[in-house]
Amino acid sequence: MFSAIAGRPDVITPEIFALAAGAVKSPQESWWVRDAALQVMGHGSAEQLVPLVDLLLPYLKHEEAWLRNGALMALTPVAGDGRCY
């Protein structure tokens, strides 16, 4: 579901963002789904992402490079936000 809309930020609503965050939080979700969800989250606003920074940071140390990259994409909107320092 997420990979189909990851490249279309115009259709990423707050509801879709919340579903993506839920997929990233779920230990039952596959890595493929989490990767697409991370890409969707990268289109979120800093306000949406600041509360989720602690959830995303462990992915920067994941064994799979593509999930580390997904985490970087998801964290990009908050990289310069003072609330994250």
DSSP state, 81?
-
Domain map (residue ranges) of the chain: 2-80
Lowest-pLDDT range of 8-22, 51-65, 67-81: 8-22
User: What CA–CA distance (Å, rounded) separates 9 from 5?
Assistant: 7
What is the CATH code of the structural domain delimited by 2-80?
Answer: 1.25.10
Give me the pLDDT at residue 50, please: 95
25-45 pLDDT per residue, tens: 999 999 999 999 999 999 999
The 3-state DSSP class for residue 43 equals coil
Give me the pLDDT at residue 81, please: 80
Asked whether 45 and 77 are in contact (CB, 8 A), the reply is: yes
- Two tokens at 39? 């890409």
User: What CA–CA distance (Å, rounded) separates 67 from 83?
Assistant: 24
Above 90 in pLDDT, residue 83? no
pLDDT band of residue 11 (cuts 50, 70, 90) is confident
Asked whether 61 and 68 are in contact (CB, 8 A), the reply is: yes
